[in-house]
């Protein structure tokens, strides 16, 4: 007899019962969690910069070909973030971590986002899979540094306009961000297509997932690997995974729960304090 197949549940009460007992919670987040803060997603409206999709500029080849153009793109996104703030979804996750910690329960955020909004919301336990807009790495000595300067170098001031007609600034390499240790050209400390994720970060993420007993999958299209495989792997192991997204994704069918709508509205209800908590 054919096995009966049922889709994911949208029963919030059933989710809340599992949440009440969970001891190690992993939150996997993507660009959709920052959408309500006004940060464009990659594959949604507003995902273009000039005429480029992020995927065209977020590559080592694009940087080798025109480091000035790639720096304009990241400079623009760094400056945009200065006017953005965490939204109720980031706040709910940070609040949950603080509230559950004294109960001996852990929350870790494994994010694909480079915008640091989880950190600004007050989450402490964060693994940034794809790096950060506010870190640089030297292409020569590999030194990694935090950098919140605005603009990051004088030559980028007023550059990086997203308008399709904006001119390519063609900034000479010696005026682009340079390493204070060795003078080498700096690049954004982010993971581009075709690049390996940081082994330590990936190992830590795997350790957290190995011990988790509940996973929240928030605002990701689940198309970019290796992160796209995390939630399906957990689901296969029997860990309940709850997806929060505006729409069904590539992995929805494999999830225990799918809550459709804005995560800034759904997450605060989903992880609100439970009656059974002290």
Parallel/antiparallel/unpaired status of strands 106-111 and 126-128: parallel
Beta-bridge mates of residue 131: 190
Q: Could you say which of ligand BJW, Zn ion, none residue 179 binds, taking C-beta under 5 to 8 angstroms by partner kind?
A: Zn ion
Q: Are 217 and 136 in contact (CB under 8 A)?
A: no
User: Residues 105-144: x/- map of binding to ligand BJW (CB under 6 A)?
Assistant: -------x-x---------------x--------------
Rounded to a whole number of angstroms, the minimum distance from the CB of residue 142 to Zn ion is 7
Nearest to 225 by CA among 47, 83, 69, 30: 30
Q: In what order do the strands lie in the sheet with 24-29?
A: 126-128, 106-111, 24-29, 214-218, 241-245, 257-260
**Helix 263-270 vs helix 12-21: angle between axes, to the nearest 10 degrees?**
50
Any contact of residue 181 with Zn ion (CB under 5 A)? yes
- Helix or strand or coil: residue 265? helix
**Binder of ligand BJW out of 1, 82, 196, 199 (CB under 6 A):** 196
Residue 130 designated active-site: yes
**Binder of Zn ion out of 35, 138, 205, 215 (CB under 5 A):** 138
Cα separation of 25 and 106, whole Å?
A: 6
Q: Are 120 and 86 in contact (CB under 8 A)?
A: yes
Which range, of 175-183, 194-202, 227-235, 259-267, touches Zn ion by CB under 5 A?
175-183
Q: Could you say which of Zn ion, ligand BJW, none residue 184 binds, taking C-beta under 5 to 8 angstroms by partner kind?
A: Zn ion
Q: Which of 75, 90, 130, 258 is catalytic?
A: 130
**Count of residues that interact with Zn ion, criterion CB under 5 A:** 8
**Binder of ligand BJW out of 110, 249, 251, 258 (CB under 6 A):** 249
Classify residue 86 as exposed, middle or buried by CB count within 10 Å of its CB (0-12, 13-18, 19+).
buried
Known catalytic residues? 130
Binding site for ligand BJW (CB under 6 A): 30-32, 35-36, 41-44, 54, 58, 112, 114, 130, 190-196, 219-221, 223-226, 244-247, 249, 262-263
């Amino acid at each position: 007899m054919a096995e009966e197949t049922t889709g994911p549940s949208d029963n919030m009460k059933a989710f809340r019962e599992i949440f009440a007992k969970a001891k190690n919670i992993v939150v996997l987040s993507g660009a959709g969690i920052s959408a309500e803060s006004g940060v464009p997603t990659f594959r949604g409206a507003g995902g273009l910069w000039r005429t480029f999709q992020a995927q065209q500029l977020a590559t080592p080849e694009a940087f080798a070909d025109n480091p000035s153009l790639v720096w304009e793109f990241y400079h623009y996104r760094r400056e945009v973030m200065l006017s953005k703030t965490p939204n109720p979804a980031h706040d709910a996750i940070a609040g949950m971590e603080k509230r559950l910690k004294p109960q001996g329960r852990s929350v870790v955020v494994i994010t694909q986002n480079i915008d640091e909004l989880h950190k600004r919301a007050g989450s402490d336990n964060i693994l940034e899979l794809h790096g950060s807009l506010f870190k640089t790495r030297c292409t020569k000595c590999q030194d990694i540094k935090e950098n919140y300067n605005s603009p990051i170098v004088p030559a980028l001031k007023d550059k990086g306009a997203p308008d399709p007609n904006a001119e390519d600034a063609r900034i000479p390499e010696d005026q682009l961000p340079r390493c204070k240790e060795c003078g080498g050209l700096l690049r954004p400390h982010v993971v581009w297509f075709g690049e390996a994720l940081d082994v330590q970060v990936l190992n830590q993420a795997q350790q957290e997932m190995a011990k988790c007993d509940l996973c929240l999958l928030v605002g990701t299209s689940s198309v970019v690997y290796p992160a796209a495989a995390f939630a399906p792997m957990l689901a296969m192991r029997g860990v309940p995974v709850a997806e929060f997204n505006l729409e069904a994704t590539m992995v929805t069918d494999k999830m225990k729960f799918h809550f459709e709508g804005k995560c800034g509205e759904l997450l605060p209800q989903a992880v609100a304090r439970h009656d059974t908590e002290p």
